A and B are shown apart, each in its own frame.
Chain A
């Protein structure tokens, strides 16, 4: 059931690839705006690159989260899931996982390309991609709670970002911190382990909160 749900979500995205591409393109466009806005001085760009890439990933993730449950809610799939025998928390975890595969993983994969544009040393690409690999699932998991809470509300997308962004601050700080540590010649291991710990905690508890929120919203 869990796998079926993930496969279905992925299939839906494959049938309409433009939807997934929008979030990725948003990420690329936002990161390209910063050098235009603040000037393309290489030292400055190198200094802000980890932060800018992480903030852009955060925003891009919010953009696609708004629709995480909206389509299922509109066509009645969500009601079926709520009525079904499978535990709702597991289904919420599956939805978040599918969201991450579509909206988080591509960001982590394309991030080294952005880092190249920001003139980041090649040695940091691995840390950047790894920090995003560990961090973006946390964003999907936390965001899924918000997406469930704002289900069917007017202005839900903006509200979702307002609710979830403050909660994502630790991920942002530690994720960007890992890259900065590596950039200053220190080992980023501690930060990456912290990100991993956050992922484990979020994966354990966030689906429960999402499930509770879904039940409330779909009542």
Chain B
């Protein structure tokens, strides 16, 4: 497999189209399945009633918001190190989707918080660090938008993304020490999930759907950038 063959925008363009189409179809199918499981199969929660069903959007969106920043920083680093044009484009293409998922996580979280915690917003560690993540995404997008020269925009954005990724654990822990109310993670890799199997299935399906959506949308955006820059 020649990896660098596809590092050229010209050869990547048709491939990106195919992957984007497949990703889009997979996203739609997975989202339908996930929403079906979430709304019709998963049992009603004993304490929270029906409102807990926000989880099927909220948790996958929160996962994606953090994961996409890492992916973005990975492409940014690759772009700086290898000087490949496509890497910078990938980083720029992922930023709006990451910001969108961050916003969705905050928004659905506040809708979930009102009936269960009795408030739309608290200055809790997780909420605050997610809000700061949104600011980091927006800063990245605004910085790239403010620079006219494409090449400089990509490289400047890459530096910012990398500084951000180094800083994220520090931000996360600093706000955690500062204040916390949000429950701990209910799903982790090291132990069995503390929820019904169907709920877990629905959440994983939605997470996969968001994943596919991100791939599809990012690749469509990359194709637009390739077109724009000829």
The residues of A with any CB-CB pair to B shorter than 8 Å are 142, 145, 149-150, 153-156, 159, 162-163, 165-167, 169-170, 173-174, 177, 198, 205, 209, 212-213, 216-217, 219
**11 extra interface residue pairs, beta carbon distance < 8 Å, beyond A153-B146, A167-B167, A219-B152:** A149-B143, A149-B159, A150-B143, A159-B146, A163-B142, A166-B135, A173-B177, A173-B178, A205-B166, A213-B156, A213-B159
B156, A167: Cβ atoms closer than 8 Å: no
A169, B143: Cβ atoms closer than 8 Å: no
Known: A159-B142, A166-B132, A173-B175. A216 touches B164 (CB 8 A): no
Offer 24 A-B interface pairs, CB within 8 angstroms, sorted by A.
A142-B163, A149-B143, A154-B146, A155-B146, A156-B146, A162-B135, A162-B138, A163-B139, A163-B143, A165-B135, A166-B136, A166-B139, A167-B163, A169-B132, A170-B170, A170-B171, A173-B177, A177-B178, A209-B163, A212-B80, A212-B159, A213-B156, A213-B159, A216-B152
B159, A163: Cβ atoms closer than 8 Å: no
- Measured CB to CB, the closest approach of chain B to A134, in angstroms, equals 15
The residues of B with any CB-CB pair to A shorter than 8 Å are 80, 132, 135-136, 138-139, 142-143, 146-147, 152, 155-156, 159-160, 162-164, 166-167, 170-171, 174-175, 177-178
Please list the 7 inter-chain residue pairs (A to B) with the smallest Cβ-Cβ separation, ordered nearest first: A170-B174, A166-B135, A163-B139, A216-B155, A173-B174, A166-B132, A170-B170
Chain B residues with Cβ under 8 A from A169's Cβ?
132, 171, 174-175
Most chain A CB inside 10 Å of its own CB: which residue of B136, B160, B171: B160
B152, A159: Cβ atoms closer than 8 Å: no
B143, A159: Cβ atoms closer than 8 Å: yes
B159, A145: Cβ atoms closer than 8 Å: yes
CB within 8 Å: A-B pair count: 67
What's the Cα separation between A170 and B152 when bound, in Å?
Answer: 29
- Measured CB to CB, the closest approach of chain A to B81, in angstroms, equals 11
Most chain B CB inside 10 Å of its own CB: which residue of A177, A212, A216: A216
Chain B residues with Cβ under 8 A from A217's Cβ?
152, 156
What's the Cα separation between A61 and B90 when bound, in Å?
Answer: 34
- Measured CB to CB, the closest approach of chain B to A10, in angstroms, equals 27
- Measured CB to CB, the closest approach of chain A to B91, in angstroms, equals 14
